[in-house]
Structure 1
């Protein structure tokens, strides 16, 4: 019987060690869930381009600016608005696209239109 008592003591002493492990595991699970809710930058870019195209029927040719803001994401995309021949005469546009923290499009606006072959003008003062 002394042997049975010794066997139960080590089992009881092992239980407190399992409790911290479980709290560490649950903490890790919480971190994983938080990370799962927060999209990665490339996921945000892909989703933003897809949402923008669905809303405007314009395909983003490039993303020229991308940054994290206090309440989400902001990016600037270049799109072909009107195809012309020659291609250098096609009308391009630059749009500011705003997304929430989860990567859902919350708004967009056109910043400017220009011919594809034209560089930004510099004004001398």
Structure 2
């Protein structure tokens, strides 16, 4: 990967995750550098409903190596769009 900015890593991980999971991305929640590369946290729309407040979203963590390639991903949670985090 020629460009290793936060923006470039996040964008690439989000695009790859959409393709791997088959769901549209809602956006990035976080991007951080690790010893092995990057850890990206993203939200995807898993189930679209009417009204929109009942959509099911999911949060995924994506491990990206120093070359910018996705090495692994996993879902860390699912929730309704209208659900408020209590932490």
User: Which TM-score applies when normalising by structure 2?
Assistant: 0.90
Name structure 2 gaps, 5 residues minimum. Answer: none
Name structure 1 gaps, 5 residues minimum. Answer: 1-35
Higher helix share: 1
CA contact (8 A) 1:89 1:117 kept: yes
Greater relative CO, 1 or 2 (CA 8 Å, sep 6+) = 2
Which residue in the other structure is 2:50 paired with?
Answer: 85
Higher strand share: 2
RMSD, aligned α-carbons: 1.5
Q: Secondary structure at the match of 2:68?
A: coil
Structure 1 residue 37, shift from structure 2 partner: 4.9
Deviates more, 1:110-119 or 1:52-61: 52-61
Larger Rg belongs to: 1
Q: 2:12 aligns with which of 31, 35, 47?
A: 47
Q: How many residues align?
A: 87
For 1:1-125, list aligned pairs within 5 A: 37=2, 39-122=4-87
